[in-house]
């Protein structure tokens, strides 16, 4: 259990991944967005490397976020929510030895599942062009290193391949099988172009498959029920919140600039009291009273 009170063990989370209905994990880029996901009743949260790049650096997902920045993001999310975390670890930030350190640091930070991909560094968002992938043997060895590095055998390793867009579907499927043989608990074939390709992916591998729903990306946006019927066990929406917040924020700022007031925007906001309630102000107030001296809370 972490500071936020996670009561689901890694073993229980692993069992949940293997059960229906499909596990849905919206993406967070910080503690606040993770809290919104938890508050909405979702069972897990996905810490998105792209989201951290967008929000922390104001840059696209082209490999600019560092290992340390991602570990810190995972740690902050883990301290804020009580639901399991699936964490994006890019390509492990180096060779198999780097992958071992990455997995151990992510696990210590609070990740229940850790995603490693087969792109060369600097990596790119899976829905961008001109990606470079590692040789299959090298990538499979990194998956093996990730599996062997975890301290808890129930920490799940998610192996992602970006080969479909580079070398085609058959190579991506062959890689999926190699990564499964290397010990991956979940396989993630990035950016399929059709439901037919998605079906072939799920039919080929035995471990649960992860679907990535990127609004405006290469993969068709299917409902969670449709994805489950195809055979997926997990689905992530890595930057749905990022896109919603960016659009709504721009609209609000344009309104403020043109009207000179935020009054008319209030129905679209979580107001001062509501936001403090979400963030647990009542519990903090009780703690302040608990540590009060002569009835006065300490500053």
> Tens digit of pLDDT for each residue in 81-137?
999 999 999 999 999 999 999 999 999 999 999 999 999 988 988 888 889 999 999
Prediction pTM value: 0.92
> Which of helix, strand or coil describes residue 211?
strand
In the structure, what pLDDT confidence band is assigned to residue 296 with cuts at 50, 70 and 90? low
Q: Does the pLDDT at position 2 exceed 60?
A: no
Q: How far is Cα 82 from Cα 84, in angstroms, rounded to an integer?
A: 7
Percent of the chain with pLDDT over 70: 96
The tens digit of pLDDT for each residue in 241-274 reads: 999 999 999 999 999 999 999 999 999 999 999 9
Q: Among 107, 116, 41, which residue's Cα sits nearest to residue 78?
A: 107
Mean pLDDT over 286-290 rounds to 88
Mean pLDDT over 141-150 rounds to 98
Provide the pLDDT for residue 292.
85
Provide the pLDDT for residue 295.
65
Q: Does the pLDDT at position 12 exceed 90?
A: yes
Residue pair 91/104 in contact by the 8 Å Cβ criterion: no
Q: Does the pLDDT at position 234 exceed 50?
A: yes
The tens digit of pLDDT for each residue in 23-43 reads: 999 999 999 999 999 999 999
Residue pair 146/100 in contact by the 8 Å Cβ criterion: yes
Provide the pLDDT for residue 287.
87
Residue pair 288/297 in contact by the 8 Å Cβ criterion: yes
The domains located in the chain, with CATH, are 10-240 (3.20.20.60), 246-290 (no CATH)
Residue pair 179/139 in contact by the 8 Å Cβ criterion: yes
Q: Does the pLDDT at position 4 exceed 60?
A: no
In the structure, what pLDDT confidence band is assigned to residue 297 with cuts at 50, 70 and 90? low
Provide the pLDDT for residue 1.
39
């Amino acid at each position: 259990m972490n500071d936020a009170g996670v009561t689901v063990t890694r073993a229980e989370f692993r069992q949940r991944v293997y059960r229906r209905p499909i596990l849905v994990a919206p993406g967070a880029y910080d503690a606040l967005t993770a809290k919104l996901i938890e508050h909405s009743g979702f069972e897990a949260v996905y810490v998105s490397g792209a989201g951290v790049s967008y929000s922390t650096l104001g840059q696209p997902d082209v490999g600019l976020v560092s290992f340390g920045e991602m570990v810190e993001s995972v740690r902050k999310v883990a301290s804020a929510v009580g639901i399991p975390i699936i964490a994006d670890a890019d390509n492990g930030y180096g060779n198999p030895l780097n992958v071992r350190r990455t997995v151990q640091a992510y696990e210590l930070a609070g990740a229940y599942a850790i995603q490693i991909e087969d792109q060369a560094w600097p990596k790119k968002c899976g829905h961008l062009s001109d990606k470079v992938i590692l040789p299959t043997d090298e990538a499979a060895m990194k998956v093996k290193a990730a599996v062997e590095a975890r301290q808890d055998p129930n920490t799940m390793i998610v192996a992602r391949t970006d080969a479909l867009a580079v070398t085609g579907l058959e190579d991506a499927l062959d890689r999926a099988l190699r990564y499964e043989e290397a010990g991956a608990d979940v396989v993630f074939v990035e950016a399929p172009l059709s439901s037919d390709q998605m079906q072939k992916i799920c039919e080929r591998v035995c471990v649960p498959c992860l679907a990535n729903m990127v609004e405006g990306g290469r993969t068709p946006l299917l409902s969670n029920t449709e994805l489950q019927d195809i055979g997926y066990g997990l689905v992530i929406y890595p930057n749905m919140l990022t896109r919603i917040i960016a659009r709504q924020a721009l609209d609000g700022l344009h309104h403020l600039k043109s009207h000179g007031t935020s009054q008319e925007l209030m129905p679209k906001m979580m107001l001062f009291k509501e936001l403090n309630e979400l963030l647990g102000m009542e519990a903090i107030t009780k703690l302040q009273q608990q540590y009060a001296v002569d009835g006065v809370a300490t500053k």
